[in-house]
Structure 1
C-alpha cells in the first residue's frame, strides 16, 4: 500500500470531528445572508466588485484543491482503503466543494443578480435608509460581473483539465498559481465592500450574523487545513487567513454603523413622541383664562 494511503487508512478522529463540525457551520453560515437578501428583495449594499472578486477567488480556490497532486492521490487511495477512512481523508476536498467556495459561483451570484435593485428605493425594510444614488451601480454592471465570473470559471476549468491530463508534471505549479491568485483576489476582495459600507454608513443587505459566524470560522478552518496538508498546502489554507482578517475589519465597521444607526433611530423616535404629546403644564393664570372662556 502507498505510504499516503496507509496514513489515510488510520484517520485522526478528533480532526475529522472538527472538520465535519466546521463544514456544517460553513453551510449554515450562508443562510443568514441568503435570507436577508430574499427578505429585503434587494442586494443593495453589496458591492458588485466585491461579488466579482469573491467569485473569481472562490473559483481559483475550488480549482486549486482539485488540482493539487496530494488531493488527487487521496482520491486514488479510496480504491484501497475502507469507506470511513476515505471519507475522513477527503473531508478537506469536501469542504472545498462546499458553499464556502462554491457559494459565490452559485447562490450569492444568482441572488445578487436576481435581486439587484433597479428602482430608486430598493429596500423595503423600514430599518434601512434609502440608497445614495451616487453609490448605486447600474444593472449593466451587475450583468457584466456575472458574465466575467462565468467566463473566468470556464477558462480555469479548461486549463485545469489540460494540466491534469496533458501536463501532469506541472500540476503542482498550476495549483500554486491558483492558490496565489486566489489569495491575491481574496486580499483585495473586501476593499470594495469596505469602501461601499463606509460610504453608506450602513450594511444594507450584507448580513452581520453571517460575518459573525464566518470570521472566527475562517481561522479555525485554516488551522484544520494546516494539520491536514501541512506547509505544502499553504496555497489552500492561506486564503482563509487573509479573508478572516479582512472580514473581521468589515464586521467591526458594519456593527459600529448599525449600532450608531439604531441609536439615532431611538433618539428620533423619542423626539417625535415628545412632540406628539400635548403640553398639559398649568400656571396660576390657567384657571382664570378657562373661566373667562
Structure 2
C-alpha cells in the first residue's frame, strides 16, 4: 500500500518532474509577415553591431565612448532579456513537444534580446581592452608627479568598477530568474505573483535606464565635438532598426508594454545621437581633423622639443616646442645646432 508523500516532498517532486505542456497549449500565434519581420530584425541586430566592434579593433582605441553609456546599455539590454524570458517561458517549454521550426518561430523574440545583450556587452569588453593606455593614469600624477594621489584615472577606475557591476548583475539576475521560473513548472498558463513582480521590475528598470542611457554619450560627444570611437554606420542601421524591433516585440505572444517601450525611447535618443555624430563628422573633415580630435587636445609627452598630442593616428600633428629657459640636465632644454668652428677639435 502506497502512502501519500508529505506536502514538502510533493512540492519538490513537482519541481523536479514538471508536467509537460500539452499540444493545444503550444499553438503558434505568428503569421508569415510577423515571422519574416522577426527574422529580419534578428539578422539586423547582428549586422548592426559589427561596425562598432570592427571600428574599435581597427582603430585600436575606444576613446570617445562613455563608460556610463555602456553601463546603462549593458544593464538595460540584460534586464530586457530576462523580462521577456519570463514572459515567454511557456514558449520555451513548448519546444519539448514541438518541431525545431515551430520552436524557433516562437522564441525569436527571446533570441533577439539575447543576441543584443551579448553584442552590447561585447562592446564594453572591447572598450576595456582598447582603453587608451595614457588615460589610465591620473593626470595629476603624470604631470605634477604627486605620487600620493591614486595612480588610476577616474575614468579608468569607474570603468573597472562598472565591469564588476555588469558581471554581478548577470549572475544575480540569472539566479533569481532560475529560482522563480522553477515555481511555475506546473502552471504553464499562469506565473506566480513573485515571478510577475520580478518581470515587472526588470521591465520598468529597463525602461528607466533606456530613457537615460544615451544622455551620457550625447554629453560626451558634445564635449569632445568629435565622433571618436563611435560607429556612424552602426547608428545608421540601429536607428531605423529600433523601430522595427519595437514593432516586432509588441507583436510577440506574451509580451507587454514593459518589453517594447524601452526600444521606443531608444529610437528617439539614437536619432539625436546620430544627428550629432553626422554633424561633427563632416565638421572635422571640413577642418582637416581626425574623428578622434577633441576640443581640448592635451600633450602626452614632450621629448627633445617635440610635443606628442593625445590623438589616435595623428603623428603628423606633433608640433615643435622650444623651452626658452631650461635648466642644465633637463630633457626639455631645446637642442640648438651650433656651427663647428674647429676650435678644440684638433687637440
SS of the residue corresponding to residue 30 of structure 1 reads: helix
Aligned to 2:26: 5
Residues 242 and 111 of structure 1, relative CA distance in 2, 3 Å threshold: same
2:170 to 130, 145, 153: 153
Q: 1:235-273 deviations in whole A, cap 9, x for unaligned?
A: 11111111111111100011111111111229xxxxxxx
Aligned to 1:87: 104
2:37 to 14, 18, 26: 18
TM norm structure 2: 0.66
SS of the residue corresponding to residue 64 of structure 2 reads: coil
Q: Is the 8 A contact 1:222 1:238 kept in 2?
A: yes
SS of the residue corresponding to residue 212 of structure 1 reads: helix
Point out where structure 1 has 5 or more consecutive residues left out of the alignment.
122-135, 267-293
Aligned to 1:36: 55
Larger Rg: 2
Q: Is the 8 A contact 2:23 2:97 kept in 1?
A: no
Q: Is the 8 A contact 2:135 2:156 kept in 1?
A: no
* Pair 1:178-2:202 in alignment: yes
Which whole-Å CA distance do the structure 1 matches of 2:212 and 2:51 have between them? 24
Alignment of 1:34-183 (within 5 A): 34-68=53-87, 71-98=88-115, 100-105=116-121, 107-119=122-134, 138-166=155-183, 169=192, 170-183=194-207
Aligned to 1:214: 238
Which whole-Å CA distance do the structure 2 matches of 1:45 and 1:4 have between them? 50
Residue 141 of structure 1 deviates from its aligned partner by 2.1
| Cα RMSD after superposing both structures | 2.0
Residue 188 of structure 1 deviates from its aligned partner by 0.7
Q: Is the 8 A contact 2:48 2:237 kept in 1?
A: yes
Which whole-Å CA distance do the structure 1 matches of 2:48 and 2:94 have between them? 31
Which whole-Å CA distance do the structure 1 matches of 2:109 and 2:272 have between them? 27
Residue 120 of structure 1 deviates from its aligned partner by 5.9
Which whole-Å CA distance do the structure 2 matches of 1:148 and 1:120 have between them? 21
Point out where structure 2 has 5 or more consecutive residues left out of the alignment.
1-21, 137-152, 185-190, 290-347
SS of the residue corresponding to residue 119 of structure 1 reads: helix
Greater CA drift, 212-221 or 86-95: 86-95
Which whole-Å CA distance do the structure 1 matches of 2:26 and 2:183 have between them? 25
Please state which structure has a larger fraction of its residues in helix.
1
Residue 137 of structure 1 deviates from its aligned partner by 5.1
Greater CA drift, 26-35 or 257-266: 257-266
Residues 57 and 13 of structure 1, relative CA distance in 2, 3 Å threshold: same
Q: Is the 8 A contact 1:216 1:244 kept in 2?
A: yes
Residue 206 of structure 1 deviates from its aligned partner by 0.5
